[in-house]
Amino acid sequence: MDTITHGIAGALIGKAVFRGEDLFASHPMNRGRILTWSLMLGAIFPDSDVFRDIFSSDRLLIITWHRSITHSLLMLPLWALLLAAITRAFANSRRWQAPSFAALTAIYAVGILSHILLDLVTSFGTMIWSPLEWSRPAWDLVFIVDFTLTAIFLVPQLLAWVYSHPEKAKSRAIGMCLVFLPTPWLIAKIGEIAGAPISGRVVLSAMIVFAALFLLPALQGWGLKIRHDTWNRAGFAAALFYVACTIYAHQVAYARIQKFASSGIGTAWFERSAACTSCVWISARGRRATWNC
C-alpha cells in the first residue's frame, strides 16, 4: 500500500477506535491529538526503509530490502518502544500532556501493525518474519495502490470535520465537493498515462458518489446530528467491509481458475504456458534463441 494511505488509515484508526482527536484542531496539543499523531506516524514508519535507497546505487534494494525489518512482526515491539520513547521526550521538551509511555508504546504498535496488515493484503510481498526468515508472504487481495480503499479511509474523516461546525458546514461541504469532483478524472488521466485506463462510466460514478457523500448530509442538516466519532467508526467499518469483499472476490476468482484448470481446455492451456515459460527461461539464459512457442 502507498505511504499516504497508510498515514490516512492510521489517523482513522486513532479516531475511530481510540477516540483520538483531529490532527489539526484549533486548541493546543493534548493527549487526544498526540494519540492520533502517534498512530498516524506509527502507520507511516515502516516505509522509512526507502530512505536507504537514496544512499545506495543498488537498484535491487526495492526487492531485497524494502518491506523487511521495518515491516517485521518480530521487530515491531522494538520499533514501538523506540518511537514511544522519542515521542515522550519530545512532548516533555514542549511541556505537552502526552499519553503514558506504556500507552504510547501500544499506540505505535497498533499503527505499525496496521501498516504490516495493509501491506500483506497487497501482491508485493512483505517480509514479516525478517530477520529470522526472508520469505515474502502476500495475501494478494488488492494492488499496491487502491484509490477506493484510500477514499474509504479518508472521506469519513473529512465528513466528520465538515459537519463538526453548524455555521461552517455548508461552505466546507461545497469546498470538499469542488476538491473531490475532479479527482476521479485526474486519476483516470494518470491511469491512462500509466497504461491502466479507467472507464468513463467508473469516473462518472465516482464523481456522483463524492457529490452525494459531501452534499446529501447537508440536506435539512442531518449531517450535523451525526457525532464526530460516528463518522470515523462508520469509515473504519466500511474499510473492514471492503477488505472482506476483496477476500470474497479473491475466493471466487480462485475457484474459477481451479475450475478452468481442471477442464480439458485449461489443462492444454497450462501445458502450453509451462512449455512457453521454460522456452523463455532458456532464451533468457542465452542457450536458445527461439521464441516460437
Residue 94 grid coordinates: 514542549
| Shortest reach from residue 95's CB to Zn ion, in Å | 34
Q: Shortest gap between Cβ of 71 and Zn ion (angstroms)?
A: 6
- Report the DSSP beta bridge partners of residue 122: 142
Radius of gyration of the chain (CA): 23
- Which CB, 109 or 158, lies closer to Zn ion? 109
CA distances from 199 to 143, 145, 206 (A): 18, 18, 11
Nearer to Zn ion, 46 or 223 (CB): 46
13 vs 213, beta carbon nearer Zn ion: 13
Q: Residue 215 Cβ, how far from Zn ion at the closest point, in Å?
A: 35
Dump the DSSP string for 248-279: HHHHHHHHHHHHHHHSHHHHHHHHHHHHHHHH
Rounded to an integer, what distance in angstroms lies between the CA atom of residue 254 and that of residue 129?
26
Q: Taking contact as CB under 5 A, which single stretch among the options 46-54, 56-64, 79-87, 101-109 is the one that binds Zn ion? A: 46-54
Candidates 118-126, 136-144, 165-173, 194-202; binding stretch for Zn ion (CB under 5 A): 118-126
Identity of the residue, 133 or 271, whose beta carbon is nearer to Zn ion in the bound complex:
133
- To Zn ion, the closest distance from the beta carbon of 216 in angstroms equals 35
- Residues numbered 163-222 forming contacts with Zn ion, rule: CB under 5 A: none
Give the up-direction half-sphere exposure of residue 20: CA atoms within 13 A in the CB hemisphere: 29
Cα(7)–Cα(134) distance, integer angstroms: 26
CB nearer Zn ion, residue 22 or residue 47: 47
Q: Binder to Zn ion among 119, 177, 184, 217 (CB under 5 A)? A: 119
The span of 40-48, 138-146, 172-180, 209-217 binding Zn ion (CB under 5 A) equals: 40-48
Place of cell 515491539: 77
Query: Looking at 116-124, 179-187, 216-224, 231-239, which segment touches Zn ion (CB under 5 A)?
Result: 116-124
Residue 173 buriedness (CB in 10 A; 0-12 / 13-18 / 19+): buried
- Pick between residue 21 and residue 119 the one whose CB is nearest to Zn ion: 119
Q: How many residues bind Zn ion (CB under 5 A)?
A: 3
Asked if residue 184 lies in contact with residue 207, where contact means CB atoms within 8 angstroms, the answer is yes
Tally Cβ neighbours within 10 Å of residue 58. Answer: 11
CB 187 within 8 A of CB 198: yes
Provide, rounded to whole angstroms, the least separation between the CB of residue 218 and Zn ion. Answer: 37
47 binds Zn ion (CB under 5 A): yes
The footprint of Zn ion (CB under 5 A) covers 46-47, 119
